Structure 1
């Protein structure tokens, strides 16, 4: 009963309202009409708190970009939000101001932010189907400066916010201040913000030198930057420029007779994209920016406006030395590559590879997408000489990367990511992952020494077969055939013997090697725990490898590489101080000392002797060379107690090589960069040549006796000892006898069988030839090579160089092997 009464009451009230709507009284009509503006006014009042504050519309003028300094106080980078150079209104050509006001807002000096006449006219035109803009310059400035707060959608709310903000701006700033801010913040494409950068970009002059035609061209772009782009759409830009000139005539800013002359003239664009100088360490600065953006966001700072001063670990002197060393060697290798890949040499001889390059280009894909057959597209592009020349230059450009760090602090001291940042911004230090080849072997020997194995322990230099999980057989080989002689672990690493390393990894396990490599610094790249890992088949970055070698130089303790020491504000107040990272023990002290000692021998009498003979470095240093399959990658890393540095050399496309077994190996491609760098650093006394690697004094009074007993034991029983951890690899079947060859083509073998060029001994664990190839006319001949220092009589002999039997290509980081099975478990 109660529900029925409620329904009756509601129905009666609705009926009464309908009667009033059909026949409203005069009072009700007046109230209804008055309610509309009242509601609009109320809505505007409610919107005011949601419009941007405008305490300083010229904030862009006061924005202070972050400044990046080296450890020795030199500027190495500046982080700007935009490519802008603020100029005063008095430093802008009057032609620009006249063109702007005549075209965009001819009543600019009469209104107070909103031009009601223009707004009404624009509304009428829009309702009639001819949409026009009615915004004043102040409204445009509000929209440009506060796009997020005002919004971008074409709604009534956005227009009201824009109008409110414009009124705020006019209340606080003079007309000249508004004009100056507008002209310094408006975008002009190609990362050019403001009239000054626009003038430099399109006319190669400053804003105060713009004539009336140039000013009209730039102001004409404001209606639609892309549509009226004078570079890509010159006809539209010319028409729009003349429209601006006509508006200047209409508003009394240009003589009509002069207009008739000017409108017939061409654009005469002098376009040059304005690019900031890359600085002395551009790749380092690029990587640092990524980290700083995260830090600034987390700590409520703006990297581009708050004037932060970032103090980095880079030493500007070492950075200069590294850049110069890499540039010198890169240019020399480029001349070799140019000869090797000349149009009538390697380029024409590698037709299949070149066709593959063409098929991978955007031009080929676009042609096929446009309806051409693949055969026709390939034929057309192969016949396009400028296209093919550009492709050849791109593919055969030698690249390199270099990094140096202080192993005792983890501080990065030099970082060169490519030969030229402006040509190739790709970072070959932190971004490129390449197979490290024999530079990975120290992790194998370090793992062995950590298990208590001695560097004097021997393995037989014999053919090796290792059965993989999938039933495949891995047969690693060296440049020269096995000799069947006993070879110590020391000489296995010194002369980079793959057969010895392969046997060693089987006794200790690939998992243990991968675990040690990760503990020492190879922490980002995936390591495949398969036997071939020992020869460097898992791609890694140069940064990881230098970091891992830094662990060796730091007594087996890992320190994460660091880039920043502290961050300050403009007044010098320290906002953040970064302490040295805590060291993490990765390798025992005794095992690490043994590894360092063995790696010293790599420099003294192994594959890195050029450090001594060519560069004259007498400091206590240790290191390792590395070369991968077909000489696609050349590596060298050198350790000094105060500095560790490494270099990689190759091509962006690993299918391209220097086509020379001599120049392609790390001892000849990457080592000279590091040697040059250290030579200069030592001469400048930036590192001390007298400092030696620390050696712990852990021996007791009975150590000599136990060492002697251990030596006797190994002599008596070591040769016949079987490893409990894993079976000794069984010898592979003997290869058939080799046909006779011209032995005069080979150099005489020394006691060590190490072939040197100016002291640069070849790495038997890397795919090399005994002499620089003479069959290729494109590759320069190597200089005459003296024999490397002989191994002492007490050391096991190393196989002499002898002709290599014909074998199948190998995986990267290993010599060729038999066709019977793949080289790796990948």
Structure 2
């Protein structure tokens, strides 16, 4: 009649299942992780040892098999203790079915009538539940639902956590411990209170003997046994679930939003944490594992160099705002603030020395220090982001958002930092699209642009003079040339191309954009570089291919999106060739000399002002991979360019990752880059750098769509003609 509020019908009860975690799988079918509200593993009745059932029934509801949800013998006790005396903790004779209803549908607040209405409601629902479920099904549902303390739910998870076994293999004395915990999960926790747990276990064993599930002799023998818990072992599959924590968190946020707009047949929105969805992603577990190993190896080495570089000094000097900001971001600060503590009280607490465990690249260690000192310790860590994508499909194959997700939550795949010279290939592509010829020579001269607030772009090496072709300027990352190019091409046109390449971040409409002053995410930059590997077609990032419900029905399927052409195939090929020169002869040459990589590689390094950010984005057959390295605070950086440039910070991680893929055999079946056509080779047939002043021919070649030979080439041809004339004269002399 609605007196007890909305109550589930028999049909709804029949559809009721335990909250089931959603699971995330890699493209090669490895379980990466689960999303859940409660740490639970659901199992079938047949997979629960009979001693668990017997212990449960003997202790909690001896007449379970003889009633239909409500035990009439206990009803009088319920009335007296729970309703008249208002004793919620008195037990009240609730059956297992009523306890299950209480777990599935938590009690409501009815003010002064709270207890009688809730009890009556539970009895009505218990009778309904018994009419649609068998006794074994009720026991299965109960043992998958019940809490064993903290986030541990269900007998299977409890068996694993406390005894490192399964519910099927529990011994009678272990089963008695778990059933005994149900009375008070904190008080009878066998790990925290072994003596209390043992006493309670023996009570359960006595109940089992009382109702004939054990003989008195068996019960007495089991009571004498010591209570031994076993530490849960982390198997290989469990370790695999630790893969890609930053990726899984990014996915969790997006999927929770997606689920809220997807509806089931009953009109309810899907719940990521309870509806048992299976999410299939594009991540490759092998590539992901190698990416994380590459990051760990190279970042540990880099951090060691960084610590030695700043030994005895703080990177932020006397700037107290760095630690103050870190303090205000900390959970400890937010908890104290929410509790009403004043700034003075919080400051005092953060200065108090306490024992704590600190993370280090060589393992965790114990120290006594103040929370403020620990913030300073962690603030000096360099961090990184790395993402690897298939250019043909846009499928994301590896995603490393930082060095330790437990400590550093900020994901540097999606965070935005200044991109430095990694933006230059976009500018150069814009220049080619605008009609600038790749062999147009541009002077390397220091210029002050008064119309742009006396902007004076300088080269990192402070060297000027001579003239560069586009290839020479890109491979040597010459800022003065980039400045002239963006003024020639136009800032609006450059911004428009960047937008077409999939960059959605704010792009300041100023000439300094040419030097990478914009804050852009690593994911956007890697996506933009796919156009250079795809004959001018861009691939948007894709990292979920399919989502199915618990019954296997597909809720969402994603195919590789149709690639949009944003560059002409010729210009994309030219850019790929010029970026190969960066690796073969320019700032990325360490990939050849240090790592011995012989496969086709195109890429670009990047370093922002004061070495705050280091970048390298590289293209290989079948992959575009980007790496960023820097501190959480812009003040956490190397002081010298020689140590802090992208070729020293980000490039080694990229090289380590690619070397591992080579050893893994990843590139064995990949097709190398397509060679340039003879026509395009002719367009690029010029010296990368000239020291002398431009000649008439050089000036002409700047404005025509085809190339005259350079001075050196003309001299070489003149020499060849002289030699051929001399040979012909000698031949005629011999013939005469």
* TM-score between the two structures when normalised by the length of structure 1: 0.66
* Cα 1:703–1:75 shift into 2, 3 Å: closer
Matches within 5 A, 1:256-295: 276-277=238-239, 278-288=241-251
Question: Which of 633, 651, 662 is the aligned partner of 2:613?
Answer: 633
User: Structure 1 residue 332: deviation in Å?
Assistant: 1.9
Query: Which residue in 1 is equivalent to 2:724?
Result: none
Q: Would you say 1:410 and 2:394 are equivalent positions?
A: yes
Deviation at 1:216, TM superposition (A): 5.4
* SS of alignment partner, residue 518 of structure 2: coil
* Residue correspondence of structure 1 range 381-530 to structure 2 within 5 A: 385=369, 387=371, 390-421=374-405, 424=408, 426-429=410-413, 431-466=414-449, 472-523=453-504, 525-530=505-510
Given the superposition, is the C-alpha separation of residues 594 and 182 from structure 1 closer, same or farther in structure 2, using an over 3 Å criterion?
same
**1: distance between equivalents of 2:197 and 2:683?**
95
Distance 1:590 1:91, change over 3 A: closer
Q: CA deviation at 1:637?
A: 0.9
Deviation digits for residues 333-367 of structure 1, max 9, x if unmatched? 2332343455x455797785775467444556777
Deviation at 1:191, TM superposition (A): 2.9
Mapped partners of 2:548, 2:349: distance in 1? 57
Number of matched pairs: 663
Matched residue, 1:318:
287
How far residue 283 of structure 1 moved from its aligned partner, in angstroms, is: 4.0
Structure 2 match to 1:803 = none
- On the 8 A contact 2:147/2:182 being kept in 1, the answer is no
Distance 2:458 2:591 in 1: 27
* Map of 1:127 onto structure 2: 84
Q: Secondary structure at the match of 2:636?
A: coil
Instruction: Give distance in 2, aligned partners of 1:624 and 1:702.
Output: 22
Aligned to 2:361: none
Could you tell me which residue of structure 1 aligns to residue 656 of structure 2?
676
Q: Select the structure of larger CA radius of gyration.
A: 1
Identify which of 584, 605, 621 aligns with 2:585.
Answer: 605
Alpha-carbon distance change, 478 to 365 in structure 1, aligned in 2, over 3 angstroms: same
Question: Match of 2:157?
Answer: 197
Tell me, in whole angstroms, the C-alpha distance in 2 between the residues paired with 1:272 and 1:655: 43
Partner Cα distance (1:688, 1:143) in 2: 58
Q: Work out the CA distance in 1 between the residues paired with 2:341 and 2:544.
A: 51
C-alpha distance in 1 between matches for 2:682 and 2:159: 81
Q: 1:213 to 1:302 in 2, by over 3 A?
A: closer
Give the superposition deviation at 1:687: 5.6
Give the match for residue 77 of structure 1: 32
**Does the 8 A contact of 1:546 with 1:644 survive in 2?**
yes
Shift of 1:49: 7.4
* 1:532 is the counterpart of 2:487: no
Q: Is the 8 A contact 1:66 1:304 kept in 2?
A: no
**Tell me, what secondary structure is at the counterpart of 1:655?**
coil
CA deviation map 1:600-651 (0-9, x unaligned):
2212221111223233334443210012233232211112353222212233
Mapped pair 1:622 → 2:602: yes
Structure 2 distance, partners of 1:701, 1:345, is: 54
Residue 181 of structure 1 pairs with residue 164 of structure 2: no
Secondary structure of 1:662's partner?
helix
Q: TM-score if structure 2 supplies the norm length?
A: 0.73
How far, CA to CA, are the matches of 2:462 and 2:276 in structure 1?
64
Aligned equivalents of 2:73, 2:550: Cα separation in 1: 47
Q: Distance in 1 between matches of 2:354 and 2:520?
A: 35
Cα distance change of structure 1 residues 186 and 645 upon mapping to structure 2, 3 Å threshold: same
| Matched residue SS, 2:39 | coil
> Which residue in the other structure is 2:566 paired with?
586
Deviation at residue 435 of structure 1 after TM alignment: 1.7
Structure 1 Cα separation of the partners of residues 85 and 324 of structure 2: 58
Tell me the residue number matched to 2:667. Answer: 686
SS in 1 for 2:64: coil
Q: Is the 8 Å Cα contact of residues 457 and 489 (structure 1) preserved in structure 2?
A: yes
* Structure 1 equivalent of residue 362 of structure 2: none
2:110 counterpart of 1:141: no
Task: Check if 1:112 corresponds to 2:68.
Answer: yes
The 1:77/1:504 distance shift into structure 2, 3 A limit, reads: same
Give, in whole Å, the separation in 1 of the partners of 2:662 and 2:206.
71
Asked if 2 retains the 8 angstrom alpha-carbon contact of 1:98 and 1:248, the reply is no
Would the alpha carbon gap of residues 64 and 507 (structure 1) be closer, same or farther in structure 2, given more than 3 Å must change? Answer: closer
Whether the aligned pair in 2 keeps the contact of 1:403 and 1:647 (CA below 8 Å) is yes
Aligned partner of residue 582 in structure 1, secondary structure:
coil
2:387–2:626: 8 Å Cα contact kept in structure 1? yes
Which residue, 140, 163, 168 being the options, matches 2:123? 163
**Distance (Å, rounded) in 2 between the aligned partners of 1:701 and 1:339:** 50
Shift, 1:597, TM fit: 2.9
Provide the rounded CA distance (Å) in 2 between the counterparts of 1:585 and 1:420: 38
Deviation at 1:307?
Answer: 7.7
The CA distance in 2 between the partners of 1:652 and 1:127, in whole Å, is 61
SS in 2 for 1:626: strand
Shift of 1:547: 0.7
Q: CA deviation at 1:489?
A: 3.7
> Which position in structure 2 is the counterpart of 1:663?
643
- Cα distance in 2 for partners of 1:626, 1:167 equals 69
Q: Distance in 1 between matches of 2:648 and 2:23?
A: 41
**Number of the residue aligned with 2:734:** none
Cα deviations by residue, 1:637-667 (Å, 9 ceiling, x for unpaired): 1123532222122333443235553332211
Measured on the aligned residues, the alpha-carbon RMSD in Å equals: 5.2
Determine if contact 1:65/1:80 at 8 Å carries over to the other structure: yes
Offset of 1:229 from its aligned partner? 8.9
Inter-CA distance 432–213: structure 2 relative to 1 (3 Å threshold): same
Paired residue secondary structure (2:430): helix
1:53 counterpart SS class: helix
- CA deviation vs aligned residue, 1:699-740 (integer Å, no higher than 9, x gap): 899999xxxxxx987734799x9xxxxxxxxxxxxxxxxxxx
Equivalent residues of 1:619, 1:690 under 8 A apart: no
Q: Given the superposition, is the C-alpha separation of residues 48 and 610 from structure 1 closer, same or farther in structure 2, using an over 3 Å criterion?
A: closer
Preserved contact between residue 621 and residue 670 of structure 2 (Cα < 8 Å): no
1:327 to 2:287 alignment: no
* Residue of structure 2 equivalent to 1:558: 538
Structure 1: gaps of 5 or more residues: 1-41, 705-710, 722-790, 796-826
What's the offset of the Cα at 1:448? Answer: 1.8
Deviation at 1:434, TM superposition (A): 1.9
Q: CA deviation at 1:549?
A: 0.5
How far is the alpha carbon of 1:194 from its aligned partner?
0.6
- Aligned runs of 1:656-805 on 2, under 5 Å? 656-658=636-638, 661-682=641-662, 684=665, 686=667, 691-693=672-674, 695=676, 715-716=698-699
The one-character-per-residue Cα deviations of 1:219-277 (angstroms, maximum 9, x if unpaired) are: 44556x6x759599x68x98899689779879958999x999x99x9999888799954
1-structure distance, mates of 2:456, 2:331: 40
Is the helix fraction higher in 1 or 2? 2
Deviation at 1:532, TM superposition (A): 2.6
Structure 1 pair 99–424 and aligned structure 2 pair: CA distance change class (3 A): farther
Q: Deviations over 1:287-328 (max 9, x none)?
A: 445556666764758877888766543444433443333332
User: Per the alignment, do residues 714 and 645 of structure 1 end up closer, same or farther by CA in structure 2, a change over 3 Å counting?
Assistant: farther
Distance 1:380 1:327, change over 3 A: closer
How far 1:584 moved relative to its partner?
Answer: 1.5
CA apart distance, 1:579: 3.3
